[in-house]
Structure 1
């Protein structure tokens, strides 16, 4: 089945009147913009089939997708900014399904948020950086009050996640994409962070539901302020992880503004050392993802020296928060 027929089959599950479809991208999901020509409303169609097998996980299961959408429904009733509201199918269900190459794949539809996708250059602006910190604090404060039952399931971003990432990096050594010396430095730095994670607080004020993929391409500037999109990787983790991801694309000299905006909402004190560790882990996780994509191996070889320098700085106990660049976390 080609993509056009596949999308048309999915859309039959929804009450659209003469929809037109535009492909957006294929990463953790296959995504499409849908315009309902009858109403001129716009939607986001997600077919939850990752581009590589190593991106598959609990987040692609029916239960986890439904959990994400339930969170978005709850968040939409509290957020001051637009939210990607889930759209039920003709049967009133939030998750639909399609069979691709004999495999059952889940699908979902969200309302489109109108606005401009933000860029890295936006976060060289003091007011914008502070606003992002405040928006992250609001999201996390809602997460602290969000109630879910035993059927609610999302990925966990803890030590098991880090160990899985390390296994993927080890496969890069096996393939010759990462040298043995580079991997050993990566491994030592990761194990150091794991050891520190064991002492981190796991109370409700420090850990809960997070976006887990904060990046300028997942931020929309709307008429009412910054809105978050793409909760596809959201799950349970340290709130500081979202802040760390935001810091990665914020100009170094403005990172204090990000933290000030965050704590100004009553979200508590941020531990710089913890942010450094989480920034390093998320950069490393991106390299681990790229290892499975042969066409990205040359890119890894070109950029990994920066990551190795970061490993050395962490192992030497140097403070890197104000000097850490993006190190290719996105291409």
Structure 2
């Protein structure tokens, strides 16, 4: 069924008076921009229903959405920059559940953050990249202090996650999208990264609540600075994964500035070899996500040999690839 036309029932659960609704997209959620005509107040409505079944996961459950919103609510009271603040429904609940054709769909509303979606061009200067590093660190600094309740549940980004990812990539080999010789290298790369993850320690300084989806479309340049949006895939993981995502958005020669910005807030040594592993996992996760999109199969066929030859093979040979991605 077309869930994108079901927003009216959800809006009745909130105190909207005369809203104008625009569909933004249907991806891991169905998202709408909701604007009150009389006041101009703007909100983001999310229906936590992914476009494909392979995107369904723990993050779509009511308990996980509730946990995400509780974190955002707490983060909003500590952040100097705009945060997508959750808006309760008429019953005072952060999560609204509606039944559509005998199926429960969980929904949430967040305050809109005004600003410009960032692009590659916005992260071209050393100063901006350094500031970007501090923003990631401020988020992690709060996560280190955040007390999760007993009912808190979010995805975990560890070995099970990488194995699920590998299974999706294996389906790409079975469909002929990834050459068998390339998949062999890819599999060895993930195996090496998994071996390194297994010996990582989980401490307050290394493991906690992470954004897990830092990309240009989730960075908003506001008058006050860089804000993060879309915590829909957030969960428990190594803080290094967020840093690795940030590094992939910056030029190689500026990555030291990113790390320098981060360590001005959180003083600790950052292992670039560890970051390399998470950079690979982020890239592999994107490819595995695209496996269900037939329109992207040709693109994967073209990109995979370059990834294998110029990055995976050198990585497996012990060469540094942190600055060359």
Task: Pick the TM interval, shorter chain.
Answer: over 0.9
RMSD: 1.2
Residue number in structure 1 paired with 2:317:
316
1:299–1:274 distance in 2 versus 1, CA, 3 Å: same
Please give the per-residue CA displacement for 1:66-111, whole angstroms capped at 9, x wherever unaligned: 0000000000000000000000111111111233453211111000
Post-superposition Cα deviations, 1:276-311, rounded to whole Å, max 9, x if no partner, equal 000001100110111111121111112112221221
> What TM-score, normalized by structure 2, do the two folds share?
0.97
Question: Deviation of residue 201 (structure 1)?
Answer: 1.9
Q: 1:215 aligned to 2:208?
A: no
Greater Cα offset, 314-323 or 302-311 = 302-311
Q: CA deviation at 1:173?
A: 1.2
Question: Who is 1:150 aligned against?
Answer: 150
Q: Which moved more, 1:76-85 or 1:100-109?
A: 100-109
TM-score (norm 1): 0.95
Q: Does 1:171 align with 2:146?
A: no
- Report the equivalent of 1:238: 238
Secondary structure of the corresponding residue to residue 156 of structure 1: coil
Moved more, 105-114 or 94-103: 94-103
C-alpha contact (below 8 Å) 1:66/1:95 kept by paired residues:
yes
| Correspondence for 1:327 | none
Q: How far apart are residue 163 of structure 1 and its match?
A: 0.6
In structure 2, the CA distance between the partners of 1:151 and 1:307, relative to structure 1 (3 Å rule), is: same
CA distance in 2, matches of 1:293, 1:101: 26
Q: Secondary structure at the residue paired with 1:245?
A: helix
Alignment of 1:257-268 (within 5 A): 257-268=257-268
CA distance in 2, matches of 1:29, 1:142: 26
The equivalences for 1:67-86 within 5 A come to 67-86=67-86
Tell me, in whole angstroms, the C-alpha distance in 2 between the residues paired with 1:251 and 1:214.
15
Paired with 1:175 and 1:96, the residues of 2 have a C-alpha distance of 39
Offset from partner CA, 1:168-210 (integer Å, 9 cap, x none):
1111111111121111111111001101111112111011000
- Verify the 8 A CA contact 2:4 2:23 in the aligned structure 1: no
Distance of 1:36 and 1:320 partners within structure 2: 49
Q: Distance in 1 between matches of 2:207 and 2:80?
A: 23
Counterpart for residue 59 of structure 2? 59
Question: Relative to structure 2, which stretch is displaced further, 118-127 or 62-71?
Answer: 118-127
Q: Is the 8 A contact 2:43 2:111 kept in 1?
A: yes
2:183 matched residue in structure 1: 183
Unaligned runs of 5+ in 1: 325-331
Q: What is the rounded CA distance, in whole Å, between the counterparts of 2:222 and 2:74 in structure 1?
A: 20
Please give the alpha-carbon distance, in whole angstroms, between the structure 1 residues aligned to 2:64 and 2:267: 27
Superimposed CA distance per residue, residues 101-130 of structure 1 (whole angstroms, 9 cap, x where no aligned partner): 532111110000011111011111111101
Q: For 1:1-331, what aligned pairs fall within 5 Å after superposition?
A: 5-309=5-309, 310-324=311-325
